[in-house]
Structure 1
Amino acid sequence: MHKNANLMRSLSVTSAPLNKEQLPQLLEQWTRLEKVSSKSFFTSWKWIGSWLKMLDYRTNLVTVYDGSEVIGLAFFNIHKANRPFHISAQLWFNRTGEDAKDQIWPEYNDILCPKGREWAVRASVLQHLVEKYPEMDEFVLGVSRQEIYETPTPPSLFPRVIWETKSYASLLKPEFCDLDSFLSSTSRNTRHQIRRTLKLLRQRGEVELVKAQSDEEALIMLKHAARLHKKRWPGLKSGFNNPYFENFHYELIKRNYSSGCIDVLSLNVDDTPVCFLYNFIHRGYVYFYLSGIEYEKDNRLKPGLLAHAMAISHYASMGCATYDFMGGEAQYKASLSNHQVSLIITSFQRKQPLFILKHWLDAAKSYVRSPGNPPSDRE
């Protein structure tokens, strides 16, 4: 048993379907824990509150106590998944297991708890749910950092990575507020492409990065971004063809834009938009979520690359610490980043013969999503 086992014994856990009457008290508990947590936007009430509304509050709540103090909170949903040779009963944390509802794709997902107590809280939750739901085959948590895989597990479970990718970020420096200073930190080829794009676009008129000044303006800009996104990613590849995805983000913006945690940016050339960026800002950390790009016939023009470079410079001038491109491998992310980590989805699986066979042989290729890009392409 892990060294945190003694801490686990002092914790108690409850779980039950969410009751809407709990929401005022839950909001107070959640926002209190946010202040002492690892501070992910995707476990903030801003994101979670909009997600709960998308689900019409049909979910389950798990609560962890240290004595009478609430120190852990998460939601979970149960899903029956068709897998090769069997149907798997899954329990998903802060997700549903349904592709359409999960296309909003939260990253840095976890059980909300004080920083430094994550392993003990996760282990206590797993122990509680394993005992309460003996019919569950898997307990799934992600997209998250790799250390979640190392969470102490009950003897009846073992962890298995079922999806993984790289995540890229630019760790910002104050001098990056000057675009040329930031470009000097990139490769010669990246600098050349961005400077050439800027030069060619300036031949058409003024080039500027414009921020939506209200939720109404942000929603209008996001609708323009959606048109470009659907053009780039036809069918179900674009979340904007999914009503759950679209309604979630419109709700997220309407609820939260005035608080300053969401940016919709437009790269304009002579007052004409050529690229939109949709970003989240949480405690000085910027998450790039998706873009809509007006692709040019002239392949020398890279409006998306330029927009990101100008956004990085903009956020550096605001004193932000990180510009995170999040999960999914792409050349433009690697070109503009100076930091990368691995992100995974972990399934804590029952020690059943079929799961053990899959674990050792890694034969069920249809079960594991191809590493690289999330199912909702956000380029």
Structure 2
Amino acid sequence: MLTASLHSSANKKELLRLLGQFSEIEGLNKNPFLSYSWQYSWVSSLPTMPTLVTFKNDGLVVGYTLYKTKKIIPGIPIYCAFVNQLGNSAYDQVWIEFNDIICIKDFKYQCIELLINQVLKKGNVTKLTLSMCKDPKEWLQVVQHNNYRYEIDQTPGFRKPLADINSVADVLVGLSRNSRNKMNRAIRDAETTFGQLSVKKYGKSETEDFLLRMGLLHKKQWMGTSLGSGFANEYFLEHHKTLCNYFYDSVDLVEVRAGDVLLGLSYNLIHNKRVYFYCSGINSDAKRGKLKPGYVMHILLMSYYGKLGFEFYDFMAGESQYKRTLSSEEYKLYTLEIFRNSIMVSIGRYLLKNIKKLFSRPSQGSHPL
């Protein structure tokens, strides 16, 4: 019989100790974001603790997940729960993709059903949010079987298979003719202007220097935007320092140069012979005419990882032109909102939708952009 037990505690050491029991269970580490190394590093960075749900089948652990509840509107005791997130932009800025319940595959449906029923039957929790899930099939089956109302949204993700990649030329062959010509020109300009292209991998002892240098470049590029830079966030930094220092085999810290000139730094997650491009610091001072240092960096890295025998170079989620240009496969990540079965919740959702429609309408005489 499958059971779920909840552990809520403000004691970080105790929660980290409990997470340790999942580190060696085969079938739980499905991707870098659901791995023990990522979850441990994330919890280590937090000032407030999520609730741990442990799933057992006849006494044997078959999975777990973390969740946190948050008031939807300050001052009103109505809550939303978040799977493997806290619902706080500062604490969640490390950003989880390929999110899911963390359990052995054969028990996934049962674990999801237990989690949803446990959470949505608690007091004033009206909604459970699962963000950026690759395969929500079992979630939707549970939701529909139990007649929960739900909303689902999708975000595109992009990747490049590396099975046949052993050189820069192999990478370029897969591009459109127009893109191939542009990238050839950019590579030629980089080598003519600065010198030969090269890739360097940073060692564990160089982690601090890498994060410092990447932070400077990343903040220069992103601090003036609405997204901001995680490198200005102490919780984001603490998470990645822990991940790099304690689980160095889970990351790859690399730089691409043209001669002595840095084109970019890339922070990649490594899991099951796949490379997940997490973030970068691009040297904007290296831009010259047709030379795009970011594009050149990714092309060099796909060649580099292909030669090392990796299977995929995953740009992950987000609509960006460089991802569409350099990838050859597109997939979807889904965000699912599951609502408690309640007349009041249904009325509240109806009113909220209409309020949003009212305020989203352009004023008379204006033209929508």
TM-score by length of 1: 0.84
- Asked if residue 12 in structure 1 is aligned to residue 6 in structure 2, the reply is no
Superposition pairs of residues 310-325 of structure 1, within 5 angstroms: 310-325=300-315
Residue 194 of structure 1 aligns to which amino acid in structure 2?
Answer: M
What is the alpha-carbon distance in structure 1 between the residues aligned to residue 154 and residue 30 of structure 2?
A: 22
CA distance 1:359–1:170, shift in 2 (3 Å):
farther
Match of 2:260 among 258, 271, 274: 271
Other-structure match for 1:104: 94
1:166 corresponds to 2:156: yes
- 1:123 paired with 2:113, answer yes
Contact 1:167 1:342 (8 Å CA) reproduced: yes
- The answer to whether the 8 A contact 2:157-2:317 is kept is yes
DSSP-derived class of the 1:97 partner = coil
Return the match for 1:189 from 147, 155, 178: 178
Residue 179 of structure 1: aligned partner: 168
Q: Is 2:21 the counterpart of 1:32?
A: no
RMSD: 2.5
Where in structure 1 are there 5+ consecutive unaligned residues? 1-9, 367-379
Match of 2:187 among 198, 209, 214: 198
Instruction: Report the equivalent of 2:322.
Output: 332
Cα distance in 2 between the residues matched to 1:168 and 1:365: 31
- Does structure 2 retain, via aligned residues, the 8 Å contact 1:38–1:115? no
Partner SS state of residue 265, structure 2: strand
- Which 5+ residue runs of structure 2 have no aligned equivalent? 358-369
Hey, what does 2:69 align to over in structure 1? 78
| 1:136 pairs with 2:125 | yes
- The separation in 2 between residues aligned to 1:262 and 1:250, in whole angstroms, is 11
* Alignment TM-score, normalising by the size of structure 2: 0.86
Which moves more between the two structures, 185-194 or 352-361? 352-361
Q: How does 1:335-346 map to 2 (within 5 A)?
A: 335-346=325-336
Shift of residue 251 of structure 1?
2.0
Q: Distance in 1 between matches of 2:95 and 2:160?
A: 21
Letter aligned with residue 59 of structure 2:
S
Structure 1 segments, 4+ long, off by >6 Å, are none
Match of 1:59 in 2: 50
- How far, CA to CA, are the matches of 1:312 and 1:355 in structure 2? 48
Does residue 204 of structure 2 align to residue 232 of structure 1? no
Total equivalences in the alignment: 348
**1:356 offset after TM fit, Å?**
3.8
Amino acid at match of 1:182: V
Given that 1:88 and 1:138 are in contact with CA atoms closer than 8 Å, whether structure 2 keeps it comes out as: no
- Structure 1 window deviating more from structure 2 (243-252 vs 86-95): it is 86-95
Q: SS at the partner of 1:150?
A: helix
CA distance in 2, matches of 1:262, 1:142: 23
SS of match in other structure, 1:123 = helix
Q: Distance in 2 between matches of 1:337 and 1:197?
A: 17
Measure the CA separation in 2 of the matches of 1:217 and 1:22.
30
Identity %: 28
- Cα distance change of structure 1 residues 125 and 284 upon mapping to structure 2, 3 Å threshold: same
**Letter in structure 2 aligned against 1:303:** P
